[in-house]
Amino acid sequence: MSNLCIIPARGGSKRIPRKNIKDFLGKPIIAYSIETALQSGLFDEVMVSTDDEEIAEVAKDFGAKVPFNRSKKNSDDFATLSDVVEEVKAEYEERKINFEYICLILPTAPLIEQNTLKEAYKLLKETAKDSIRPIVAFSYPIQRALRMNENHDIEMINPENRRKRSQDFEKAYYDAGQFYFMKYSTGLEGVHNIGYEIKESQSQDIDTLEDWHMAELKYKFNHGLL
Protein backbone atom coordinates (compact mmCIF):
# COMPACT_ATOMS: atom_id res chain seq x y z
CA MET A 1 0.00 0.00 0.00
CA SER A 2 1.24 3.50 -0.83
CA ASN A 3 -0.11 6.22 1.42
CA LEU A 4 0.08 10.00 1.39
CA CYS A 5 -0.40 12.21 4.45
CA ILE A 6 -1.65 15.74 3.80
CA ILE A 7 -1.51 18.37 6.55
CA PRO A 8 -3.47 21.48 5.46
CA ALA A 9 -2.10 24.63 7.08
CA ARG A 10 -2.97 27.96 5.51
CA GLY A 11 -1.57 31.15 6.96
CA GLY A 12 -4.77 33.17 7.38
CA SER A 13 -6.16 31.93 10.68
CA LYS A 14 -8.19 34.74 12.28
CA ARG A 15 -9.56 33.65 15.66
CA ILE A 16 -6.09 32.64 16.89
CA PRO A 17 -3.51 34.48 14.75
CA ARG A 18 -0.74 32.24 13.33
CA LYS A 19 -2.51 29.33 15.01
CA ASN A 20 -0.89 26.60 12.94
CA ILE A 21 2.62 27.44 14.15
CA LYS A 22 1.78 28.90 17.57
CA ASP A 23 3.84 27.42 20.41
CA PHE A 24 2.12 24.47 22.09
CA LEU A 25 4.01 23.23 25.14
CA GLY A 26 7.41 23.97 23.66
CA LYS A 27 7.06 23.54 19.91
CA PRO A 28 4.82 24.69 17.04
CA ILE A 29 1.48 22.94 17.21
CA ILE A 30 1.78 21.64 13.64
CA ALA A 31 4.88 19.70 14.72
CA TYR A 32 2.72 17.21 16.64
CA SER A 33 0.76 16.26 13.52
CA ILE A 34 3.92 15.97 11.43
CA GLU A 35 5.83 13.92 13.97
CA THR A 36 2.95 11.53 14.66
CA ALA A 37 2.48 10.93 10.93
CA LEU A 38 6.19 10.30 10.37
CA GLN A 39 6.60 8.08 13.44
CA SER A 40 3.55 5.97 12.57
CA GLY A 41 5.37 4.47 9.59
CA LEU A 42 2.13 4.49 7.59
CA PHE A 43 3.10 7.00 4.94
CA ASP A 44 5.35 7.10 1.91
CA GLU A 45 5.16 10.87 2.02
CA VAL A 46 4.08 13.42 4.64
CA MET A 47 3.42 16.81 3.06
CA VAL A 48 2.06 20.15 4.19
CA SER A 49 -0.29 22.11 1.93
CA THR A 50 0.23 25.80 2.68
CA ASP A 51 0.25 29.24 1.14
CA ASP A 52 2.54 30.61 3.86
CA GLU A 53 6.34 30.66 3.64
CA GLU A 54 6.91 30.65 7.40
CA ILE A 55 4.62 27.65 7.87
CA ALA A 56 6.43 25.90 5.02
CA GLU A 57 9.81 26.43 6.71
CA VAL A 58 8.53 25.18 10.07
CA ALA A 59 7.03 22.12 8.36
CA LYS A 60 10.33 21.29 6.68
CA ASP A 61 12.21 21.75 9.96
CA PHE A 62 10.10 18.98 11.47
CA GLY A 63 10.51 16.60 8.55
CA ALA A 64 7.52 17.23 6.29
CA LYS A 65 7.74 18.00 2.58
CA VAL A 66 6.29 21.09 0.92
CA PRO A 67 6.60 20.19 -2.77
CA PHE A 68 4.36 23.03 -3.99
CA ASN A 69 2.42 26.00 -2.65
CA ARG A 70 -1.32 25.96 -2.13
CA SER A 71 -3.20 28.06 -4.66
CA LYS A 72 -4.79 31.40 -3.73
CA LYS A 73 -8.17 29.93 -4.63
CA ASN A 74 -7.86 27.29 -1.91
CA SER A 75 -6.32 29.57 0.73
CA ASP A 76 -9.34 31.71 1.59
CA ASP A 77 -12.05 31.22 4.22
CA PHE A 78 -14.34 29.45 1.76
CA ALA A 79 -12.05 26.63 0.61
CA THR A 80 -13.05 23.23 1.97
CA LEU A 81 -10.83 20.35 3.06
CA SER A 82 -12.10 18.44 0.05
CA ASP A 83 -10.89 21.29 -2.21
CA VAL A 84 -7.43 21.00 -0.66
CA VAL A 85 -7.32 17.22 -1.10
CA GLU A 86 -8.34 17.42 -4.75
CA GLU A 87 -5.77 20.14 -5.45
CA VAL A 88 -3.00 18.06 -3.88
CA LYS A 89 -4.08 14.99 -5.86
CA ALA A 90 -3.99 16.97 -9.09
CA GLU A 91 -0.49 18.29 -8.36
CA TYR A 92 0.86 14.80 -7.68
CA GLU A 93 -0.86 13.36 -10.73
CA GLU A 94 0.88 15.98 -12.86
CA ARG A 95 4.11 14.53 -11.50
CA LYS A 96 2.89 10.99 -12.38
CA ILE A 97 2.67 10.07 -8.68
CA ASN A 98 -0.33 8.19 -7.33
CA PHE A 99 -1.25 6.69 -3.99
CA GLU A 100 -3.81 4.20 -2.73
CA TYR A 101 -4.83 5.99 0.46
CA ILE A 102 -4.68 9.56 1.75
CA CYS A 103 -4.80 10.67 5.36
CA LEU A 104 -5.66 14.31 5.97
CA ILE A 105 -4.39 15.28 9.42
CA LEU A 106 -5.35 18.67 10.83
CA PRO A 107 -2.39 20.90 11.83
CA THR A 108 -3.99 21.63 15.22
CA ALA A 109 -4.29 18.03 16.42
CA PRO A 110 -1.66 17.69 19.17
CA LEU A 111 -3.68 14.95 20.87
CA ILE A 112 -3.45 12.61 17.88
CA GLU A 113 -1.92 9.20 18.64
CA GLN A 114 -0.05 6.77 16.42
CA ASN A 115 -2.17 3.81 17.54
CA THR A 116 -5.37 5.64 16.62
CA LEU A 117 -4.05 6.24 13.11
CA LYS A 118 -2.89 2.65 12.74
CA GLU A 119 -6.09 1.09 14.03
CA ALA A 120 -8.31 3.38 11.96
CA TYR A 121 -6.29 2.56 8.84
CA LYS A 122 -6.57 -1.17 9.56
CA LEU A 123 -10.35 -0.89 9.97
CA LEU A 124 -10.67 1.15 6.78
CA LYS A 125 -8.85 -1.51 4.77
CA GLU A 126 -10.80 -4.37 6.36
CA THR A 127 -14.17 -2.79 5.64
CA ALA A 128 -13.20 -1.42 2.20
CA LYS A 129 -15.24 1.73 2.89
CA ASP A 130 -14.46 5.13 1.37
CA SER A 131 -13.18 6.89 4.49
CA ILE A 132 -12.87 6.75 8.26
CA ARG A 133 -12.69 9.49 10.87
CA PRO A 134 -12.35 9.59 14.67
CA ILE A 135 -15.58 10.33 16.51
CA VAL A 136 -16.36 11.15 20.14
CA ALA A 137 -19.54 10.25 22.03
CA PHE A 138 -21.55 13.14 23.47
CA SER A 139 -21.31 12.97 27.26
CA TYR A 140 -24.97 14.02 27.66
CA PRO A 141 -27.96 12.85 25.58
CA ILE A 142 -28.44 15.32 22.73
CA GLN A 143 -32.10 14.27 22.66
CA ARG A 144 -32.51 16.42 25.79
CA ALA A 145 -30.98 19.53 24.21
CA LEU A 146 -32.43 22.93 25.13
CA ARG A 147 -33.02 26.10 23.14
CA MET A 148 -32.97 29.64 24.58
CA ASN A 149 -34.47 32.82 23.12
CA GLU A 150 -33.33 36.46 23.49
CA ASN A 151 -35.20 36.71 26.81
CA HIS A 152 -33.31 33.71 28.18
CA ASP A 153 -36.44 31.58 28.19
CA ILE A 154 -35.56 27.94 27.72
CA GLU A 155 -37.44 24.94 26.38
CA MET A 156 -36.59 21.45 25.22
CA ILE A 157 -36.05 21.10 21.50
CA ASN A 158 -37.73 17.69 21.71
CA PRO A 159 -40.17 17.94 24.65
CA GLU A 160 -41.42 14.40 24.05
CA ASN A 161 -38.11 13.21 25.53
CA ARG A 162 -38.62 14.96 28.89
CA ARG A 163 -39.57 11.82 30.82
CA LYS A 164 -37.38 9.30 29.03
CA ARG A 165 -34.44 7.71 30.83
CA SER A 166 -30.94 8.65 29.68
CA GLN A 167 -30.05 5.01 29.01
CA ASP A 168 -32.98 4.68 26.59
CA PHE A 169 -31.59 7.23 24.12
CA GLU A 170 -29.53 6.25 21.11
CA LYS A 171 -25.84 7.05 21.56
CA ALA A 172 -24.78 10.09 19.53
CA TYR A 173 -21.33 11.19 18.34
CA TYR A 174 -19.53 14.19 16.91
CA ASP A 175 -16.65 14.43 14.47
CA ALA A 176 -13.39 14.81 16.42
CA GLY A 177 -11.97 16.97 13.60
CA GLN A 178 -8.57 15.34 13.92
CA PHE A 179 -7.94 13.30 10.78
CA TYR A 180 -9.68 11.74 7.77
CA PHE A 181 -8.26 8.55 6.26
CA MET A 182 -9.66 7.91 2.80
CA LYS A 183 -9.29 6.01 -0.44
CA TYR A 184 -7.25 8.01 -2.92
CA SER A 185 -9.85 7.37 -5.63
CA THR A 186 -12.76 8.91 -3.70
CA GLY A 187 -11.02 11.53 -1.57
CA LEU A 188 -13.42 13.20 0.85
CA GLU A 189 -16.30 12.88 -1.62
CA GLY A 190 -16.91 9.19 -0.85
CA VAL A 191 -20.35 8.22 0.49
CA HIS A 192 -19.48 5.02 2.39
CA ASN A 193 -17.85 6.43 5.49
CA ILE A 194 -17.25 4.94 8.93
CA GLY A 195 -16.18 6.15 12.36
CA TYR A 196 -13.55 5.12 14.87
CA GLU A 197 -14.48 6.03 18.43
CA ILE A 198 -11.91 7.80 20.61
CA LYS A 199 -12.12 9.20 24.14
CA GLU A 200 -13.06 12.81 24.82
CA SER A 201 -9.62 13.28 26.42
CA GLN A 202 -8.02 12.44 23.06
CA SER A 203 -9.71 15.24 21.15
CA GLN A 204 -10.13 19.00 21.43
CA ASP A 205 -11.47 21.47 18.90
CA ILE A 206 -9.21 24.54 19.02
CA ASP A 207 -10.96 27.76 18.00
CA THR A 208 -10.35 29.98 21.04
CA LEU A 209 -7.56 30.53 23.58
CA GLU A 210 -9.71 28.71 26.12
CA ASP A 211 -9.79 25.72 23.76
CA TRP A 212 -6.02 26.01 23.40
CA HIS A 213 -5.42 25.84 27.14
CA MET A 214 -7.83 22.91 27.46
CA ALA A 215 -5.87 21.05 24.76
CA GLU A 216 -2.66 21.68 26.70
CA LEU A 217 -4.25 20.27 29.87
CA LYS A 218 -5.50 17.20 28.01
CA TYR A 219 -2.06 16.65 26.47
CA LYS A 220 -0.42 16.82 29.90
CA PHE A 221 -3.05 14.48 31.33
CA ASN A 222 -2.61 11.95 28.51
CA HIS A 223 1.18 11.96 28.90
CA GLY A 224 1.29 11.84 32.69
CA LEU A 225 2.55 15.40 33.04
CA LEU A 226 -0.02 16.61 35.56
In a domain, 223, yes or no: no
Count of beta carbons in the 10 Å neighbourhood of residue 25: 13
- 163 carries an active-site annotation: yes
In a domain, 216, yes or no: no
Asked if 108 and 204 touch (Cβ cutoff 8 Å), the reply is: no
In a domain, 104, yes or no: yes
pLDDT in tens, 162-208: 999 988 999 999 999 999 999 999 999 999 999 999 999 999 999 99
In a domain, 92, yes or no: yes
Query: Within its chain, how far is the Cα of 134 from the centroid?
Result: 8
Rounded to an integer, the average pLDDT of 51-70 is: 97
Q: Considering the chain, what percentage of its residues have pLDDT values greater than 70?
A: 100
Give me the CATH number covering residue 98: 3.90.550.10
Rounded to an integer, the average pLDDT of 154-163 is: 95
In a domain, 69, yes or no: yes
CA distances from 3 to 8, 21, 45, 161, 164 (A): 16, 25, 7, 46, 46
Structural domain containing residue 57: 3-135+174-202
pLDDT in tens, 77-120: 889 999 999 999 999 999 999 999 999 999 999 999 999 999 99
Query: Nearest-5° angle of CA 93, CA 184, CA 66?
Result: 55
Helix (H, G, I), strand (E, B) or coil at 30: helix
**Number of domains the chain contains:** 1
Express the helix, strand and coil content of the chain in percent, nearest 5 each: 35, 20, 45
Taking the whole predicted model, whether its pTM rises above 0.85 is answered as yes
Catalytic residue among 95, 162, 163, 165: 163
